[in-house]
Amino acid sequence: MKVLITGATGLVGQAIVSALHEEGIQVNYLTTRKNQIRKEEDYQGYLWNPAKGEIDLDCFIGVNGIINLAGASIAKKWTSAHKKAVLASRVDSLNTLRKGLEQIKNTQIESFVSASAIGIYPSSLTDYYEESHSGIDDSFLGEVVEVWEKAAKDFSTFSFPVALIRIGIVLSTEGGALPKMDAPIRNYAGAPIGSGEQWQSWVHIDDLARMFVFTLKNQLSGIYNGVAPNPVTNSKMTKTIAKSLKKPLLLPNVPAAALKLFLGEMAYIVLASQRVSSKKIEDEGFVFEYSNLDCALEALYYPKVALNSAEMSRINKEYV
């Protein structure tokens, strides 16, 4: 099997590439930078320019599945220019992929999985969202995901199944939200944000990567929430991170008004509340390795060192 990935060099993309390689699956990836192109037996890069609708059609050679992760980061100040970039990058990437597929014999493609986000769900302290919910958040996040998903659903005109994974807060020590959340805690300046009652639906990066591979290999279709089974409030998240780092929380909650003054409209990312269900993907047979926040953080902050075969042999002999 060979998989084509867009956004392969990003945080989630790298984790998915590793998960695919662990299963012996080869990867082709698309990049806009020549200096990021590698030509290895199981990892080959190809150029594209989504803004201009350009793509190297050789990227599809031998490919059976496609994972789309491309899109400008949402976690930058929401200026008018960046908002346009966020929207355009997602739509242009999908449109360019679709244009490329229309120019080749695409019958060998067996599955298409595209990233989405739980930001489509309306902010609520009480609702518990499943994929069947039809409401859309009245915010820039809701607008982005609505447009993003519409472009992905256009792939339903092809013969292969199309799946969308609505990603929650991805926990990784290599980047993303967690280092931003734990930095003030490490420096004794951590505190819950706003009321602290807003729900945060999170997922360990390894589970998310496995979920993409699971969805692809099982040729699933439709929408799935990319979150762990047990969402927590911001207050609980903050306290659990502090507990994992063995750091005290000394300060009162950060006022929402102060955060809005500092971050502007982008403050909505951390003030919005979305409690999201993972039941649908679990019903398909996916099993989370990290369903509990404490365990997920423990694995991230204090990873166990894998023993090589020689070390395992020595230990086994000691106990014979």
User: Predicted confidence band at 263 (pLDDT cuts at 50, 70, 90)?
Assistant: confident
Contact 56, 44 (CB under 8 A): no
177-200 per-position pLDDT tens digit: 999 999 999 999 999 999 999 999
Map tokens 């989630």 to a residue.
12
Strand intervals (E) in 8-70 = 26-31, 39-40, 43-49, 54-55, 65-68
52-88 per-position pLDDT tens digit: 999 999 999 999 999 999 999 998 889 999 999 999 9
For the chain, give the mean pLDDT.
Answer: 94
pLDDT computed for residue 307 by the predictor:
41
Map tokens 């023993």 to a residue.
307
| Domain 2-301 listed as CATH 2.60.40.10 | no
Residue 143: Cβ-neighbour burial (10 angstroms; 0-12, 13-18, 19+): middle
39-59 per-position pLDDT tens digit: 988 999 999 999 999 999 999
Strand partners, 66: 4, 112
pLDDT computed for residue 318 by the predictor:
44
Q: What are the sequence ranges of the domains in the chain?
A: 2-301
pLDDT mean over 11-19 = 97
The whole-angstrom separation of Cα 180 and Cα 184 is 8
Return the axis-axis angle of helices 205-217 and 11-22, rounded to nearest 10°: 60
308-320 per-position pLDDT tens digit: 444 444 434 443 3
Q: What is the dihedral of CA 22, 23, 28, 31, to 10 degrees?
A: -40
pLDDT computed for residue 261 by the predictor:
86
pLDDT mean over 222-245 = 98
pLDDT computed for residue 262 by the predictor:
83
